[in-house]
């Protein structure tokens, strides 16, 4: 099995319920098990259009072990977002749920549909803090340490 690190965020509707629903959906992927989930933290939005700057996020991180390929795992993550009503009309706009694949077993990949590790994750406290809580540390130079809890 491969260890996947994901970051979840929501700034619309019942944010806590959105995170819980998304986490349950991730844990329900075939050949996948939830290893750890961080506590939920409220954070200020980063890089959003000014009209949405007042919409705080709830964020969480999780570690999952999976036999899925990184591409299949990512495809299924996007399907969860779509099923939950995520709309992608405004770049960095409000979202019911945002799920980012931060790391997948230390794989380094730069493809049009999947970049690993996530290129901006190490710069974002709303990603690094919850991951650190569950024993996963991102290093800014794109190297990954940890993954066990």
Point out the catalytic residue in the list 3, 76, 86, 124. Answer: 86
Specify whether 100 is catalytic.
yes
Q: What topology does CATH give the domain 2-146?
A: Alpha-Beta Plaits (3.30.70)
Chain center to CA of 28: 16
**Ramachandran region of residue 7, left (φ > 0), alpha (ψ -120 to 50) or beta?**
beta
Tokens of 134: 């569950």
Point out the catalytic residue in the list 95, 110, 120, 125. Answer: 95
Point out the catalytic residue in the list 98, 120, 129, 141. Answer: 98
Tell me the range of 72-76, 119-123, 138-142 where mean pLDDT is highest: 72-76
Tokens of 21: 């629903």
The ranges assigned to domains in the chain are 2-146
Q: What is the pLDDT of residues 42-99, one digit of tens each?
A: 988 877 778 777 889 999 999 999 999 999 999 999 999 999 998 777 676 688 999 9
Specify whether 95 is catalytic.
yes
Instruction: Give per-residue burial for 113-136: e unless 16+ CB within 10 Å, then b.
Output: ebebbbeebbebebbbebbebbeb
pTM value > 0.75: yes
User: Which helix (H) or strand (E) segment is 78 a member of?
Assistant: helix 70-83
Specify whether 65 is catalytic.
no
């Amino acid at each position: 099995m491969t260890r996947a690190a994901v970051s979840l965020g929501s700034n619309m509707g019942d944010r806590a319920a959105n995170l819980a629903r998304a986490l349950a959906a991730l844990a329900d992927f075939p050949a996948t098990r939830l290893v750890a989930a961080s506590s939920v933290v409220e954070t200020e939005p980063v890089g959003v259009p000014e009209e949405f700057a007042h919409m705080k996020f709830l964020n969480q991180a999780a570690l999952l072990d999976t036999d899925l390929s990184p591409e299949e795992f990512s495809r299924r993550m996007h399907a969860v977002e779509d099923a939950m009503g995520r709309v992608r009309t405004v770049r960095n706009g409000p979202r019911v749920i945002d799920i980012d694949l931060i790391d997948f077993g230390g794989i380094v990949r730069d493809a049009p549909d999947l970049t690993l590790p996530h290129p901006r994750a190490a710069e974002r406290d709303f990603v690094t803090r919850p991951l650190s809580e569950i024993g996963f540390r991102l290093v800014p130079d794109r190297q990954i340490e940890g993954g066990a809890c």
